[in-house]
Amino acid sequence: MIERQNFGSFAGQPVHLFTLKNKNSVEVSICNYGGIVTSIKTPDKKGNFDDIVLGFDTLEEYIEDNPYFGCIAGRFANRIAEGKFSLAGKTYQLAQNDGEHHLHGGERGFDKVLWKARETSDNSLNLTYHSKDGEEIYPGGLEVEVIYTLTDNDELRIDYAATTDAPTIVNLTNHSYFNLSGATDILAHEVLLKADRFTPIDEGFIPTGELKEVDGTPFDFREFMPIGARINNDHEQLKFADGYDHNWVLNGQAGELRHVASVRELETGRGLELFTTQPGVQFYSGNFLTHIKGKDGRIYEKRSGFCLETQHFPDSPNQPNFPSVTLKPGEKYEQTTVFKFTILS
C-alpha cells in the first residue's frame, strides 16, 4: 500500500511524500525532492515501532541545510580528487564543493533536484530524472531511474538504472543515516562487514589507490564488533576521518546480489541486513554531525547515525586499478541494494 501526501513545493513545483506500508506495518516514507528516504518505521523486540533513520520534519529543512540525509547521491556519489577527471581524451573540471574536492555530484547533485514519481502496483515507487548534458559539468545526457520497493519480507529494495547519450561517469547510492535504537548514539551498534580489504585515504579523504588488508587493523569487521570499540584508537586512518568514513572492498562477485553486511542493536533487538550488487560500501560513523535539529525536536550530535552507502570506490575515475565507472551509449548502468529489517532472536 502507498499513501501520498503534499510535502510542500520546490522551484514552484509540488513535492509529495509517499509512504509505503507492508503487511507487517513496516513503513518507509520517500519524497520526490532528492529521492529522500525521510522515515523508516520498524518494530523492536517488544513490538514498539520507531523511526530508525535521521532526517527532518519539513521539506524546507531538507532544502536549507541537509547533510545528505536519506538522499540519492549522484551523478557521482562520494569524492573525486580536485574535482577533475579525464574521459575520451578530455579533462573535466567539476565543482570543488568539499574543500578542494568534488563530493556527491557537486553543488546541485541528484539530492537537490525534483524527481518524477510514479506509484506502481507492487508497493514500489518509481523515480526518474533527466540529467542534461553539462549539468554540473558532467558530460552526456543521463536518463536515471530509481525504484524503491518495500516487500512483505521487511526489505527495502532499491534498484538503480541509467543510460547515456555520450560517454560519462556514474556512481549512485542512497545516503540514509541509520540509528536502530531510535535514540542516543550508534557506538553500541555491532557491525559485520564481509570485506577483507578497504581503501585507505589521505587527509583529504581521497583514496591512495591501495587495497589494504583489514587484518590486524580497526577496520576488521569480519566478525561483529561495536562501532565504538576501536573508533578512537591511535590509528592514522581513524585520525584522518575522526572515525570511520572509508570504503570497504566487498567480498564476492560484484554484479551479483549478495549479503555483505549486518548491523545489530542488542537493547532494542533490531537488526539490519545489507545486500548489494556493488563492489564497495562506504561505512560512515556520522563523525561530522554537529548539533543538527532533526525530527520531533531531536538534536543530532556527532555519531548519532551511521551510513552504509553501497557504491563504486571513491575517486574511481582517477584510479585505473579500481572498477570502472564509465558508462557509454548503448550500455546500461544497473545495480541493486537491499536493506532487510529484522528482529534478533
> What are the pLDDT digits (tens) for 206-262?
999 999 999 999 999 999 999 999 999 999 999 999 999 999 999 999 999 999 999
Each domain of the chain, given as residue ranges in start order, spans: 2-343
Question: Is residue 252 within 8 Å of residue 291, measured between CB atoms?
Answer: no
CA neighbor of 26 nearest in space, from 147, 123, 160: 123
3 state SS of 52:
coil
> What are the pLDDT digits (tens) for 92-123?
999 999 999 999 999 999 999 999 999 998 89
Model confidence at 184, pLDDT cuts 50, 70, 90, reads: confident
Model confidence at 345, pLDDT cuts 50, 70, 90, reads: confident
Mean pLDDT score, 297-316: 97
Answer yes or no: 309 catalytic: yes
Out of 101, 102, 309, 312, pick the active-site residue. Answer: 309
Mean pLDDT score, 128-146: 98
Q: How far is CA 229 from CA 183, 186, 271, 334, in A?
A: 19, 11, 19, 36
Average pLDDT of the chain, as a whole number: 97
Model confidence at 285, pLDDT cuts 50, 70, 90, reads: very high
Q: Is the pLDDT of residue 183 over 90?
A: no
Q: Which of 105-119, 158-172, 174-188 has the lowest average pLDDT? A: 174-188
**pTM for the structure as a whole:** 0.98
For 54-92, give the DSSP string: ---SSHHHHHHS-S-TTPEE-SB-SEEGGGEEEETTEEE
Q: CATH assignment of 2-343, given 3.10.180.10, 2.70.98.10, 3.30.70.600, 3.30.540.10?
A: 2.70.98.10
Out of 101, 102, 104, 175, pick the active-site residue. Answer: 175
3 state SS of 48:
coil
- Give the C-alpha separation, 133 to 210, whole Å: 33
